[in-house]
Amino acid sequence: MSIETSFKNRLGKNVLFHEPLKNHVAYRVGGPADILVFPQTEEDLAWIGQEARTHAVPLTVIGRGTNLLVTDKGIRGITVSLEKAFKTIELLSEQSDDKVLVRAGGGVSKPELLEWAIQGGFTGLEFSSGVPGTIGGGIFMNAGTKYGCYGDVLTELRLFDFETGAKTFSRSEFHFGYREQTAVKNQLVLWATFELRRGEPTTIRAEVNRIIQERAEKQPLDYPSCGSTFKNPEGFSAGRLIEKAGLKGRTVGGAQISDKHANFILNKGNATAQDILDLIQIAKDAVQSQFGVKLECEVIILGT
């Protein structure tokens, strides 16, 4: 039985073949995935891993692609998306001194969990205001803002490894730093548990709205992008370095280094992944040559 037939028989409408990934990532660029699958259960994941081994094809994991740049040639083998699964949120317990434990599936969107917390009167996730993507992706990138990150409130993780299966870990087993962590490599985040505190919903919402407004004033949100392209080098602002290098507004094809915030590279409507990659390289080269500072990508680049 061919791999295509096997996947169609098992997953039905939850598998797509030769699917353009520009339809599934925030940048709206990128070539096709040979096989794009949307697993629903841990059992689906185990089966997908077995099929990958049987047919000797690579496995790639994506969330909602909010921090992902897929090349124009796309991704070979099997691409796994959590876009349609692991989307539950639950209040686990109420601890002493107003602490609560909340569990969210890896496929839950960051805005969805934040809104759930606001309505329940739980504070601690305000740092994620205006940040797109899934909780799984947020853990993988240790996403956050100047107000905090997921590693600050995480207490427990359940990860799925395509070789060894699912396992639960405590926060103390891993290191979480600026846009990096040692917990998730090639695994999937099935769920994460966070320690939050009780607060006043109106106060929490006011702070969330303030942060969202602050982001809107400083960041270009009108065109597809992946947010910040580069990590801030220690002691520097990546955006300011790129601006000082004279690259604000620089275009290649349909891509542009934002003239509002130089650490954002935008798809102005008809960009290719190569246009964006070219601008990334231009910014790296200019900052290195003019200031002796090496820029490191925050956006994840996948594909052949």
- The residues carrying an active-site annotation are 179, 228, 298
* Alpha carbon distances (Å) from 239 to 2, 17, 248: 48, 38, 9
Angle, alpha carbons 139-24-214 (nearest 5°): 55
DSSP state for residue 225 in the 8-state scheme: -
Please identify which residue in the block is written with the tokens 């405590």.
170
DSSP state for residue 297 in the 8-state scheme: B
Name the residue type at position 181.
Q
Say how far residue 72 (Cα) sits from the centre of its chain: 20
Q: Strands 59-62, 75-81: parallel, antiparallel or unpaired by DSSP?
A: parallel
- Sign, Cα dihedral of 95, 205, 157, 12: positive
Q: Strands 188-198, 122-123: parallel, antiparallel or unpaired by DSSP?
A: antiparallel
> Do residues 157 and 182 make contact, with C-beta atoms less than 8 angstroms apart?
no
Burial of 173 from C-beta contacts in 10 A (0-12 / 13-18 / 19+): exposed
Q: How many CA atoms lie within 13 A of 229 on its CB side?
A: 31
